[in-house]
Amino acid sequence: MEILDDLRYVYRSPFDGKARPTNMHWQEMYAALGLNPKRHLPDAGLGPRYVGNVRVWVDPKIPGVAQDAARVWCRCPHCGRHLTAGKYHQHRKVHR
């Protein structure tokens, strides 16, 4: 998987073979973080890692609270704001 800046990657269409940049969804984010997409996020969390030029980390699981996607956080490289990884795709449009 070719990772671009701003949590995007190059997707090759199986129909026409063309390469198109697209947003990372959870499956691609797991792969970029070196995790198995068929397993849950680690309970202990993950330290900061860079995916492209974006700093990404996973918060530890809180006992008694359901596991959800709000544990995956990132820091905007343009303004330094902390956001969930899913909200970053919307936020990066501010910096166009």
Contacts of 44 (CB under 8 A, 6+ apart): 60, 61
Q: What is the pLDDT of residues 36-79, one digit of tens each?
A: 989 988 889 999 999 888 999 999 988 887 766 588 899 999 99
pLDDT on residue 57: 93
Residue 8, pLDDT score = 84
Which pLDDT score, from 0 to 100, does residue 93 have? 83
Cα separation values, 22 from 12, 25, 59, 61, Å? 10, 9, 25, 29
86, 71 Cβ separation under 8 angstroms: no
Secondary structure class of 64 (helix, strand, coil):
coil
